[in-house]
Amino acid sequence: MNRKQSSLLYTEALEHIVGGVNSPSRSFKAVGGGAPVFMKRAQGAHFWDVDDNRYIDYLAAYGPIITGHAHPHITEAITRAVSNGALYGTPTELEIQLARMLKEAIPSMDKVRFVNSGTEAVMTTIRVARAYTKRNKIIKFAGCYHGHSDLVLVAAGSGPSTLGIPDSAGIPTSIANEVITVPFNDLDGLRQALEHWGDDVAAVMVEPIVGNFGMVMPKPGFLEGLCRMAHDNGSLVIYDEVITAFRFHYGSTQTYAGLENHDAIQPDLTALGKIIGGGLPIGAYGGTKQVMEQVAPLGPAYQAGTMAGNPASISAGIACLEVLQGERVYEEMERLAITLTEGLQSSADVHGVPLTINRIRGAFSTHFCDHPVTNYDEAQDTDGEAFGEFFRHMLDRGINLAPSKYEAWFLTTAHTDADIEATLTAADEAFRLMAQGK
Ligand code: PMP
ipTM of this complex: 0.99
Dump pLDDT digits (tens) for 410-432.
999 999 999 999 999 999 999 99
Whether the pLDDT of residue 26 is over 80: the answer is yes
d(CA 384, CA 30): 8
In this structure, are 331 and 315 located in the same domain?
Answer: no
Q: Is the pLDDT of residue 151 over 90?
A: no
How far is ligand 1, taken at its centre, from the CA of residue 349, in Å?
33
139 and 251 share a domain? yes
Distance from C-alpha of 403 to C-alpha of 52, rounded to nearest angstrom: 20
Same domain membership, residue 21 and residue 80: no
Contacts of 52 (CB under 8 A, 6+ apart): none
Judgement on whether residues 66 and 136 belong to the same structural domain of the protein? no
Of 324, 349, 365, which closes a domain? 324
CA of 146 to the centre of ligand 1 (A): 6
pLDDT tens for each residue of 297-341: 999 999 999 999 999 999 999 999 999 999 999 999 999 999 999
Q: Return the beta strands (E) in 50-170 as ranges.
A: 54-57, 111-115, 137-141
Tell me if residue 365 falls in helix, strand or coil.
strand
- Measure the CA–CA gap between 137 and 140, rounded to whole angstroms: 10
Average pLDDT over the chain reads 95
160 falls in which pLDDT band (50, 70, 90)? very low
Coil vs helix vs strand at 286: strand
Task: Check which CATH number belongs to the domain holding 424 and give it.
Answer: 3.90.1150.10
In short, whether 122's Cβ falls inside 6 Å of ligand 1 is yes
pLDDT in tens, 54-89: 999 999 999 999 999 999 999 999 999 999 999 999
Residues 259 and 379 in one domain: no
Model confidence at 237: pLDDT above 80? yes
Q: Is pLDDT of 348 > 80?
A: yes
- Answer yes or no: do 137 and 237 share one domain: yes
Residues 6+ apart with CB under 8 A from 318: 77, 94, 97, 98, 101, 278
What pLDDT, on a 0 to 100 scale, did the predictor assign at position 153?
A: 85
Are 337 and 260 within one domain?
no
Report how far residue 113's alpha carbon sits from residue 299's, in angstroms, rounded to the nearest whole number: 13
Q: With a 6 A CB cut-off, is 108 part of the ligand 1 pocket?
A: no
Residues 412 and 287 in one domain: no
Alpha helices in 134-278 (DSSP H): 158-162, 173-176, 187-197, 222-232
Same domain membership, residue 396 and residue 358 = yes
**Known active-site residue 110:** no
Q: Has residue 164 got a pLDDT over 90? A: no
Q: Is the pLDDT of residue 162 over 50?
A: no
Q: In the prediction, which pLDDT does 171 show?
A: 87
Domain boundary among 274, 293, 324: 324
Domain co-membership, 290 together with 362: no
Closest CA to 341 of 415, 264, 423: 423
pLDDT of residue 154: 78
Who wins on pLDDT, 146 or 177? Answer: 146
Q: Which of 116, 151, 242, 313 to mutate to test the pocket of ligand 1 (most atoms within 8 A of CB)?
A: 242
Number of domains in the chain: 2
- Pick from 292, 324, 356: which residue ends a domain? 324
Enclosing domain of residue 400: 4-70+327-435
What pLDDT does residue 169 have?
A: 87
Centroid of ligand 1 to alpha carbon of 431 (angstroms): 31
Sorted by sequence, the CB contacts under 8 Å of residue 202 that are 6+ apart come out as 126, 129, 130, 132, 133, 135, 136, 137, 138, 235, 236
- Looking at the fold, whether 271 and 387 belong to one and the same domain comes out as no
161 and 305 part of one domain: yes
Indicate which CATH number applies to the domain containing 221.
3.40.640.10
CA trace torsion 421, 426, 428, 429 (10° rounding): 150
Which pLDDT score, from 0 to 100, does residue 176 have? 84
**Res. 177 pLDDT band, cuts 50 70 90:** confident
> Rounded to an integer, what distance in angstroms lies between the CA atom of residue 403 and that of residue 36?
9
Q: Is residue 274 flagged as an active site residue?
A: yes
